[in-house]
């Protein structure tokens, strides 16, 4: 008869359970019986992606979390989609834009999970993790770094010439204009004992052989 499920449910005296749970029932910050996310590793990864290439719009009736992913990395798009679903989303949309895909999800409780949201650009305002976020990241620093490097980082082959002989070695770079986000990346690397140095004002380098090998275990190249 062309009637929608919510309409029929509203008419019923003994209403059936909704097909999908509301975001309030999935938000670990709003449930008194839950202290941590069901998948803290996915949350740490999504937090890293959000700090790098994410944006949380709260001006609309229903907040929307958007993370921009380059078309060149289809596995990254899928990983972002999966992380959103694991953390809160019942539905995730992929909106094609020029050169990238905006992976997005509407949900009233996204602001609960990302209190770093606010007006303006991230590098123009303070970015500080809440105490409960720090606890999660400390336990899953590798996944947090994976999110940061998948958004604003890369793994490259560095070429150097010494005494006329060329050498090639892998190297990680992380670039971000926010000093606070750069500090979080440094902190997470320190948690895992991975050596790093600042090669520019807004760029961090991981180049030592053992440090690159350690970061490979947690991040690896984009795909």
H helix or E strand, kind and range, residue 78: helix 74-87
How far apart are the C-alpha atoms of 56 and 116, rounded to whole Å? Answer: 9
- This prediction has a pTM of 0.86
- Spatial CB neighbours of 65, under 8 Å, sequence gap ≥ 6: 50, 54, 55, 56, 84, 104, 105, 107, 110, 114
Strand order in the sheet with 197-200: 153-162, 165-175, 203-206, 197-200
pLDDT digit of tens for each residue in the chain (223 aa)?
766 666 666 677 555 554 445 577 889 999 877 777 889 999 999 999 999 999 999 988 899 999 999 999 999 999 999 999 999 988 999 999 998 999 999 999 999 999 999 988 999 999 999 999 999 999 999 999 999 999 999 999 888 788 878 888 899 999 999 999 999 999 999 999 999 999 999 999 999 999 999 999 999 878 8
Sign of the Cα torsion 104, 105, 107, 111 reads negative
Domains of the chain: 24-115+129-218 (3.10.28.10)
How far apart are the C-alpha atoms of 209 and 153, rounded to whole Å? Answer: 18
Q: Write the DSSP symbol of residue 71.
A: T
């Amino acid at each position: 008869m062309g009637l929608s499920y919510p309409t029929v449910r509203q008419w019923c005296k003994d209403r059936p359970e909704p097909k999908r749970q509301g975001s309030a029932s999935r938000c670990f910050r709003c449930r008194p019986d839950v202290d941590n996310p069901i998948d803290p590793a996915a949350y740490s990864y999504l937090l890293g992606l959000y700090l790098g290439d994410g944006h949380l719009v709260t001006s609309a009736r229903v907040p929307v979390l958007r993370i921009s992913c380059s078309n060149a990395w289809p596995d990254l798009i899928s990983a972002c989609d999966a992380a959103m679903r694991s953390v809160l989303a019942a539905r995730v949309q992929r909106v094609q834009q020029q050169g990238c895909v905006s992976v997005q999800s509407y949900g009233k409780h996204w602001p609960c999970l990302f209190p770093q949201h606010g007006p303006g650009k991230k590098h123009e305002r303070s970015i500080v993790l809440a105490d409960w976020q720090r606890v999660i990241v400390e336990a899953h620093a590798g996944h947090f770094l994976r999110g940061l490097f998948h958004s604003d980082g890369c793994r490259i082959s560095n070429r150097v010439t010494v005494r006329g002989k060329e050498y090639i070695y892998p190297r990680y770079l992380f670039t971000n204009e926010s000093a606070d986000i750069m500090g979080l990346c440094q902190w997470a690397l320190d948690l895992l004992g991975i050596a790093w140095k600042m090669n520019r004002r807004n760029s961090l380098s991981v180049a030592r052989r053992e440090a690159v090998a350690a970061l490979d275990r947690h991040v690896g190249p984009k795909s």
